[in-house]
A and B are shown apart, each in its own frame.
Chain A
Amino acid sequence: EIVLTQSPDFQSVTPKEKVTITCRASQSIGDGLHWYQQKPDQSPKLLIKYASQSLSGVPSRFSGSGSGTDFTLTINSLEAEDAATYYCHQSTNLPWTFGQGTKVEIK
């Protein structure tokens, strides 16, 4: 099973600050890495697909990068509505797995 390890587990950030979340895979997964945002008491929302591909309706301050084993989600100029837990997910190998999540809190 491919293990995805996110860092940090928790981040407290002031508005307009830049946020960087990393996701490391236990083996190479190419670009089969996707990012989700889950706000409290809500279902997850797809933010980025295939490591760096943006999605319609997702604010442009969200971007992704990486390939192989190391990936990054960047939130430029954090807004209050971005308070959430962020998960990476790999679609390359069964069983399809998620990272443990990174909780972003607004100071």
Chain B
Amino acid sequence: EIELTQSPATLSLSPGERATLSCRASQSFGSYLAWYQQKPGQAPRLVIYEASKRAPGIPDRFSGSGSGTDFTLTISSLQPEDCAVYYCQQRSIRPPLTFGGGTKVEIK
């Protein structure tokens, strides 16, 4: 089973700052990684799939990178509406399709 470790647990930044979220895997699985955004009381929303592809409707301030075991989600200029918990998920052909523990992004 592939384990995903996200860091930091909480990220507190000012509007307009760059947010960098990390997701590290216990073993390599290529580029089949997804990032989700979840706001309170809502279902998760896909932000990035296959490590670097933006999901439909996602603003271009969101970008993803990485492969193998190290992945990054970057929000280039943080907006108030970006406050949420972000989860990574491995989506290789090898189930279980585990999630990371999440990173909470807050506005200072």
Q: Do A and B bind each other?
A: no
